[in-house]
Structure 1
Amino acid sequence: MKGRKPNPLGNVIPMKGDAARRVPDAPDWMSEDARKVWDELAPELIAKDRLQPAFTYQFASYCESVSNFLAATAVIAIDGFWFETKTRNGVQQKKTAAFGVQQEAMNAMRRDSALFGLSPVDEARLGEGGQGDLFADIMKQLKHGPD
């Protein structure tokens, strides 16, 4: 063959990935622990395109709930789940306020985490909507009939 040998990579144009979005700073009004949660999780959510500017307050709510959960759990570790008090019916055990705060924080965490796909179930739910299989429906009908 005469001339220059063909370069198989000479006509390949490398694909450019999506431009990385900047991770927004946590709002100034958030607590220190909540800001740590923000700094830990926000990059992942940005990469998955789940943290838009309009969702800032909802994600901040999640981060504050995690902060409250951690604080209440620390208090419970020191003081315990209940305290004893003497009533007209005798000595009774009552739940501490920290236990109530911990439970409320866990409920808020569950509610808010679902919006961002932070549990395996919600991750799968938000992950739906991919391209799918072109012939899946046809093959299903061929195998199982036109139900």
Structure 2
Amino acid sequence: MRGVKPAIVVAGTIYRTPSAPAWLSRLGKAEWKKVATILVERRHLTDADLGTLAAYADAVAQLAESTQIVNREGMVIETKAGLRKHPAISIQMNARNQIRQLAVELGLTPVSRSRPSIREDGNADDDLSPLAL
């Protein structure tokens, strides 16, 4: 029998956008507010997700700050041993990887949003079994 699946209520679901941790930078707090608001509207933010959200917001801030440094100082620096990659390039790469991984965990990517447990339409593709004819 087909129909609308009941919404799954997860213990600890947060219904109001929580304040950002005090230790986040200004950029991190702005990202926290933006993403937390989206997740609360979707009813996908729980108490257990707050650490992941904080790490995500911090990584976004690190990416922005390291990019500003590279834009200002260049991609290479001169040392006694010669030219080498600016240390902020490594910070950028690590922040990008963290953002990508944490975005998936939070359901912020197109692919992660397409999972049946994330989609708002409530229709799971796995209902289309050839044996269910």
If the length of structure 1 is used for normalisation, what is the TM-score?
0.69
Q: Which whole-Å CA distance do the structure 1 matches of 2:55 and 2:132 have between them?
A: 49
Structure 1 match to 2:59: 65
Give the conservation status (yes or no) of the 8 Å contact 2:63–2:91.
yes
Residue 89 of structure 2 aligns with an amino acid whose one-letter code is F
Q: CA RMSD in A?
A: 2.7
Q: Percent identity?
A: 27
- Structure 2: give runs of 5+ residues left out of the alignment: 1-13
Output one character per residue of 1:91-116: Cα deviation in whole Å (capped at 9) or x when no partner.
x4311111111111111111111111
- Partner secondary structure for residue 21 of structure 2: coil
Q: 46-55 or 31-40, which moves further after superposition? A: 46-55
How many aligned positions are there? 118
1:95 aligned partner = 85
User: What one-letter code is carried by the residue in structure 2 that aligns with 1:76?
Assistant: V
Give the drift of 1:39: 1.1
Equivalent residue in structure 2 for 1:47, among 41, 45, 57 = 41
Partner of 1:30: 24
Give ranges in structure 1 of 5+ residues lacking alignment: 1-19
